[in-house]
Amino acid sequence: MAKGKTYLRKNDQVEVIAGKDKGRVGKVLKVIPAKNQAVVEKINMIKRHTKPTEMNQQGQIVEREAPLDVSNLQMICPECTKTGRIGKKYLEDGTKVRYCKNCGEAFESKA
């Protein structure tokens, strides 16, 4: 897949198909097309050590999501609730939509 092109959008339901979180399902929080990555809710959690920024504030360990490569994610079709490949097609009125290659049903993103 070329850099900057991705089939994922914010609020899509995805399943991780490779890596340490393989098989887990989550919602896309952010898409980074320039790096071909996406941040998924509660997936690929990392610990970030932060320094105190003010005199009375304590340093802490913050746990947050790290970006995953989009090649390790597969979208879950909202119509047939299966993971599968996503295609793009034009409707009769000229609008471009994504569709599930399993069931053939076109769907709009919830964003």
In a domain, 6, yes or no: no
Which pLDDT score, from 0 to 100, does residue 2 have? 63
**Average of pLDDT values for 19-43?**
96
3-class DSSP state of 71: helix
CA distance 25 to 79: 16
- DSSP E strands: which ranges in 1-111? 13-16, 25-32, 37-40, 45-50, 60-65, 68-69, 73-75, 86-90, 96-100, 106-107
In this structure, are strands 37-40 and 68-69 parallel, antiparallel, or unpaired?
antiparallel
Q: What is the pLDDT of residues 64-110, one digit of tens each?
A: 999 999 999 999 999 899 999 999 999 899 899 999 999 999 987 54
In a domain, 65, yes or no: yes
| Enclosing domain of residue 69 | 13-50+61-107
For the chain, the domain total comes to: 1
What pTM did the predictor assign?
Answer: 0.85
- Kindly report the CATH number assigned to the domain that includes residue 22: 2.30.30.30
Residues in the chain, overall count = 111
Which pLDDT score, from 0 to 100, does residue 109 have? 52
